[in-house]
Amino acid sequence: WRKCPDCQAAIKANNLKNEKHLQMYFMGRVNEILKSHGKKCIAWNDCLGDELDKDIICHYWTFKNTATVKNQAKKREVILSPMLSFYFNYGYGAIPLKKTYKFNEKSKGFRKKGVRVRGIEAELWTEWVDCDEAVEYSLYPRLSALAEVAWTPLESRNFKDFSQRQKF
């Protein structure tokens, strides 16, 4: 955005400090449009700031700014989809089934009082997944593991039991 003449013109026209503030300005405008149609805005965690409407839901995906997201989670709802646990387009070498199953919101600081976790979500970005078989291989059984993480209390989870039920 630093080299884009349109972005630089928008920064100047709206008396914004820099490109980050342009992003906040844009998110605010998008949020107002969505709200006018009865919709909710969800934004990736790397584009949120305190100046934005607290109705915007934070979609937490990268650990680069975990402290910021935890702070935001006290002010707005958060959806957890950490890249290193729930991005299923990555191979099992990078995100093994056990890593997905062992995800622990509490150890990441998202079970503290006042933190507003709306839920968890998996991603499967298909630009590197070239056929239906690859999609199925990437999703299963990790999607089943994610379901248990979402719906089963940590103290009730058992990876060995889960593995036996998956028949893999």
pLDDT in tens, 97-108: 999 999 988 877
The whole-model pTM stands at 0.84
Q: For residue range 132-158, what is the model confidence (pLDDT) as tens digits?
A: 999 999 999 999 999 999 999 999 999
Secondary structure of 107-148 in the HEC alphabet? CCCCCCCCCCEEEECCECCHHHCCCHHHHHHHHCCHHHHHHH
Q: Write down how long the chain is.
A: 168
